[in-house]
């Protein structure tokens, strides 16, 4: 009988200890999560005006692809024009307000890729651009983003935060003239195709030469960036 009572008390104590330990772990994780969120919200490297504009463009890009796929033609075309303007605006504000950051250097090209990829997906769904061209554009963008991440990992000082310019303010992603030219051709192709999708003009036969030109510059710019 004593052994049974001893066993029950020991079991109860062990359960309470486990419960207490689990509660302490949850409390510890909660406090650390709150501190992390507070630190994140107070991080001036992240919540700058240019970065907020860029992040809003990233989050809104899928809407354009959905708009194309669902024949929301005016929304798709006007959204493309507005997003193209904000692409210039965030870069201008970053320089004007002296808010150039490592995070911004990653987000800006990433926003372009999200926008182009979303629109390409929508146009491919509507069979307005060929599949091989879509694969070349998306494949090149994914490769460059991976390479940029690897480059940042190699260049940042040991122990430095990945996106913190306090430790390595010289890091930047500077697109070459070839890359800028390719981006212009991609946006031109998408805009003209959306105009055809929305207004029926210009005809696809006039846009087809731009497929080859865009595909060629995409491959060349990708090889140039890698080598």
Tens digit of pLDDT for each residue in 59-72?
989 999 999 999 99
pLDDT (average), residues 98-121: 84
As a whole number of angstroms, the distance between CA 24 and CA 47 comes to 32
For tokens 């692409």, name the residue. 87
pLDDT (average), residues 70-86: 90
Per cent of the chain over pLDDT 90 is 30
Classify the phi-psi angles of 142: left when phi > 0, otherwise alpha if psi is within -120 to 50, otherwise beta.
alpha
* Lookup: tokens for 152: 């940042």
Rg (CA), the chain: 25
Domain 44-226: give its CATH architecture.
Answer: Up-down Bundle (1.20)
In 3D space, the residue among 125, 136, 123 whose CA is nearest the CA of residue 204 turns out to be 123
Q: Of the spans 87-101, 115-129, 157-171, 172-186, which averages the highest pLDDT?
A: 115-129
Q: Report the pLDDT value the prediction gives residue 90, as an integer from 0 to 100.
A: 87
The model's pTM is 0.71
Q: Report the pLDDT value the prediction gives residue 48, as an integer from 0 to 100.
A: 84
As a whole number of angstroms, the distance between CA 31 and CA 126 comes to 49
Query: Greater confidence, 221 or 31?
Result: 221
Distances, alpha carbon 113 to alpha carbons 39, 129, 133, in Å: 29, 17, 15
pLDDT (average), residues 159-167: 54
Q: Report the pLDDT value the prediction gives residue 162, as an integer from 0 to 100.
A: 57
> Domain map of the chain by residue range?
44-226
Is 32's pLDDT higher than 70?
Answer: no
């Amino acid at each position: 009988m004593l052994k049974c009572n001893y066993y029950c008390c020991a079991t109860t104590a062990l359960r309470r200890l486990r419960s207490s330990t689990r509660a302490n772990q949850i409390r510890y994780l909660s406090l650390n999560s709150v501190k992390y969120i507070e630190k994140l919200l107070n991080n001036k490297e992240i919540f700058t005006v240019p970065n907020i504009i860029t992040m809003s463009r990233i989050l809104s890009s899928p809407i354009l692809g959905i708009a194309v796929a669902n024949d929301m033609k005016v929304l798709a075309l006007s959204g493309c024009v507005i997003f193209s303007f904000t692409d210039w605006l965030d870069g201008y504000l970053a320089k004007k307000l002296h808010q150039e950051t490592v995070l911004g250097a990653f987000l800006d090209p990433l926003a372009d890729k999200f926008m182009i990829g979303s629109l390409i997906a929508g146009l491919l769904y509507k069979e307005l651009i060929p599949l091989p061209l879509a694969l070349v554009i998306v494949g090149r963008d994914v490769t460059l983003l991976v390479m940029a991440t690897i480059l940042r990992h190699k260049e940042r000082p040991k122990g430095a935060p990945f996106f913190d310019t306090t430790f390595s303010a010289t890091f930047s992603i500077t697109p070459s003239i070839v890359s800028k030219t390719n981006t212009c051709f991609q946006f031109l192709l998408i805009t003209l195709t959306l105009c055809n999708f929305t207004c029926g003009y210009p005809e696809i036969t006039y846009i087809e030469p731009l497929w080859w030109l865009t595909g060629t510059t995409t491959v060349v710019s990708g090889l140039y960036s890698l080598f």
